[in-house]
Amino acid sequence: MSNSKLVLHNYFRSSSAYRVRIALHLKGLPFEYASIHLNRNGGEQFNPANSDRNPQQLVPVLSDGDIDISQSLAIMEYLDETYPAVPLLPSAPRERAKVRQLSLAMACDIHPLNNLRVLKYLTGPLGADEAAKAAWIDHWHVTGLTALETELARDPQRGRFCVGDTPTMADCCLVPQLFAAGRFGLDLAPFPTLRAIDAACQELPEFQLAHPARQPDSE
């Protein structure tokens, strides 16, 4: 176990930052919240310090002593290996595979398509109007969440949470994804299994503490 101070370079509304906040709270790890405001000063993710920490110029980045880690799933796996108390992944390989599969289905196939930089490209170079942008957001949310609902509704490994009765990395991804979908006005009625898991998560103080509305840079 490292004794260095954890710093999360972070933005209250970023889904991927929200995932890592949940993970840190679940593990009970204190961290410094360093705000990188994506909509101020031309986008603080592009400033030299953040570009140096992460050439992708995205958030979140976790600094743990002399190491900077980007990519929320890489951060959560690192936390699980370095601070193993309160695991974010089950122990059996097939359950670990399911947690990762669910997490990646959101982190690869929903979130990046509806990310700020992509929406800016749609309305900028591609000239999409607000209706076309809204339809795009809706399309990838519905496509991705429908597949997740189908997968989880039938899954015997599912419990109170995505996999079993303990929150895992998959739940750290699901709650921010549903928050984002709701923020864009998506009707969540067709996803009862996802909503039930979300409700179970929302009861836990660790998820409540990580909510965008409770962060220091929240608006």
Chain contacts with a second copy (rule: CB under 8 A): 54-58, 67, 69-71, 73-75, 77-78, 81-82, 93-94, 96-98, 100-101, 103-105, 107-109, 111-113, 118, 121-122, 125-126, 128, 132, 135-136, 139, 144, 146-148, 150-151
Strand residues in the chain grouped as ranges (E):
6-10, 32-35, 61-64, 67-70
Shortest Cβ 61–a second copy spacing (Å): 10
Contact 12, 218 (CB under 8 A): yes
Judged by CB, which is closer to a second copy: 147, or 213?
147
Query: Which candidate, 166, 182, 180, 172, places its Cα nearest to that of 209?
Result: 172
Judged by CB, which is closer to a second copy: 74, or 213?
74
Query: Which candidate, 151, 25, 150, places its Cα nearest to that of 88?
Result: 25
Token readout for 17 is 């930052």
Judged by CB, which is closer to a second copy: 52, or 203?
52
Shortest Cβ 25–a second copy spacing (Å): 20
Shortest Cβ 217–a second copy spacing (Å): 23
Contact 17, 72 (CB under 8 A): yes
